[in-house]
Amino acid sequence: MKTIVVIPTYNEALGIETVLDAVLRAAPDAEILVVDDNSPDGTGVLVEAHPQYLHRVFLLSRGDKDGLGAAYRAGFTWAEARMYDVIVQMDADLSHPPAKIPELVAALDTVDIAIGSRYVAGGGVRNWSLSRRLISWAGNTYVRAVLGLRVHDATAGFRAFRRDSLLMLGALESQSNGYSFQIENTWRASRLGLTTTEVPITFTDRTLGESKMSTAIIREAVIRVLLWRWDEIRHWQRRAAVPVGRLRDVGA
Report the predicted TM-score, pTM, of the whole model to 2 decimal places: 0.90
pLDDT of the residue at 109: 97
Distance CA 47, CA 7 (A): 11
Cα separation values, 113 from 32, 108, 128, 200, 246, Å = 19, 6, 27, 14, 37
> 226 in helix, strand or coil?
helix
CA–CA distance, 40 with 50 (Å, rounded to integer): 18
Mean pLDDT by 10 residues, the chain (252 residues): 97 96 98 97 98 98 90 97 98 96 98 98 94 90 95 96 96 88 95 97 81 70 90 76 53 46
Say how far apart CA 30 and CA 25 lie, in whole Å: 10
Integer-rounded Cα radius of gyration of the chain: 19
The helix/strand/coil state of 113 is strand
pLDDT at 246: 53
Q: List, for residues 225-243, the tens digit of each pLDDT value.
A: 999 999 888 877 666 665 6
CA distance 176 to 74: 13
pLDDT at 240: 66
Q: Is 113 exposed, middle or buried (0-12, 13-18, 19+ CB in 10 A)?
A: buried
At residue 215, the pLDDT reads: 76
Query: What number of other Cβ atoms are within 10 A of residue 66's Cβ?
Result: 12
Give the phi and the psi of residue 193 in degrees, each rounded to 5: 80, 20
Answer yes or no: are the C-beta atoms of 134 and 32 closer than 8 Å: no
One-character DSSP codes across 91-102: -SSS-S-GGGHH
Residue type at 66 in one-letter notation:
D
